[in-house]
């Protein structure tokens, strides 16, 4: 009985994390990893997990949680006609390759370096989303031909390294390529699956031989965290999607920009402290 009581605060925190992550997944097309990763990193620290692998476990578990969340969010947006399947066919393979590459790089690079890169890029993107620049884009349409795989490969790699869904990078990228934001958000939900599934598998394989893993781990993916967070995120993703389709394009851009600014500041702060 005592052990059950001790785990209740952890379970409550995981469930609350799932609620927030699920709503964000549906609202912004993100997989919720921006919330899941820092919370898991903190919780794993409380349980005495080796700090050298804490972020690896947090990122890997976050990616595993994003798999069902992305599916739920995608279905919600699909019902509202908010998914561009032509762009999915064009970008999907490159995002998959980038996600696998990102999981490998994350196991090799210093976590503070990754945080700094992410924070700077996220801040630039956030500024773009906050300013009234709807009529400004880098391209009239999504690039085709030899240039087509460049952006999705980078998006897949960076997202996998940070344990986040594709929305954080792919939504701004698509809007810079003159894509409607509602379509961008819905399409990003499926890109989240393309990133999270191969990314999680990569972290499982990379962590199988690590002897420092806590109880209930499969490679770097912690199955206890997955079991507690994933079902709740699936439940609440449709709520976020319903909210998204009640907002106009400018409101959704501002909301995404504010969200991304907070994320960027947190990552930059983590780089130096």
Q: What is the pLDDT of residues 184-194, one digit of tens each?
A: 888 888 888 99
Number of domains comprising the chain:
1
42 contacts 49 by C-beta, under 8 angstroms:
no
Q: What is the mean pLDDT of residues 226-249?
A: 83
Residue-range definition of the domain harbouring residue 126: 2-272
Taking the whole predicted model, whether its pTM rises above 0.95 is answered as no
Please give the average per-residue pLDDT across 80-90, as a whole number.
86
Nearest to 260 by CA among 152, 119, 148: 119
pLDDT digits (tens, 9 = 90+) for 100-147: 998 888 878 776 776 677 788 778 778 877 876 655 666 677 778 787
Q: Residue 2: pLDDT band by 50, 70, 90 thresholds?
A: very low
Alpha carbon 157 to its chain's center: 11
Cβ atoms within 10 Å, residue 151: 23
Residue 246: CB partners within 8 Å, gap ≥ 6? none
Judge whether 165 and 195 are in contact, CB under 8 Å.
yes
Q: 146: which DSSP letter?
A: G
Question: For the CA atoms of the chain, what is the radius of gyration?
Answer: 18
């Amino acid at each position: 009985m005592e052990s059950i009581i001790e785990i209740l605060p952890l379970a409550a925190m995981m469930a609350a994390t799932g609620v927030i992550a699920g709503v964000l997944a549906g609202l912004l097309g993100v997989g919720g990893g921006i919330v899941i990763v820092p919370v898991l990193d903190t919780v794993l620290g409380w349980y005495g997990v080796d700090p050298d692998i804490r972020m690896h476990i947090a990122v890997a578990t976050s990616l595993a949680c994003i798999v069902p969340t992305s599916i739920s969010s995608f279905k919600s947006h699909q019902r509202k006609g908010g998914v561009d399947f032509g762009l999915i066919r064009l970008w999907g393979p490159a995002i998959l390759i980038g996600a696998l590459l990102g999981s490998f790089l994350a196991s090799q690079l210093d976590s503070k370096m990754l945080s700094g890169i992410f924070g700077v890029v996220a801040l630039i993107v956030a500024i773009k989303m906050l300013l009234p620049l709807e009529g400004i884009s880098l391209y009239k349409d999504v690039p085709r031909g030899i240039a087509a795989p460049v952006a999705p490969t980078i998006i897949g790699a960076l997202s996998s390294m940070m344990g986040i869904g594709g929305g954080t990078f792919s939504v701004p990228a698509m809007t810079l390529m003159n894509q409607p934001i509602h379509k961008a958000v819905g399409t990003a939900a499926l890109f989240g699956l393309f990133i999270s599934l191969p990314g999680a598998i990569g972290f499982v394989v990379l962590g199988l031989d690590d002897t420092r893993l806590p109880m209930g781990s499969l490679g770097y993916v912690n199955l206890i965290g997955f079991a507690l967070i994933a079902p709740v995120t699936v439940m609440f993703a449709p709520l976020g999607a319903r909210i998204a389709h009640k907002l106009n394009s400018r409101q959704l851009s501002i909301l995404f920009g504010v969200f991304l600014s907070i994320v960027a500041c947190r990552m930059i702060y983590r780089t130096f402290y």
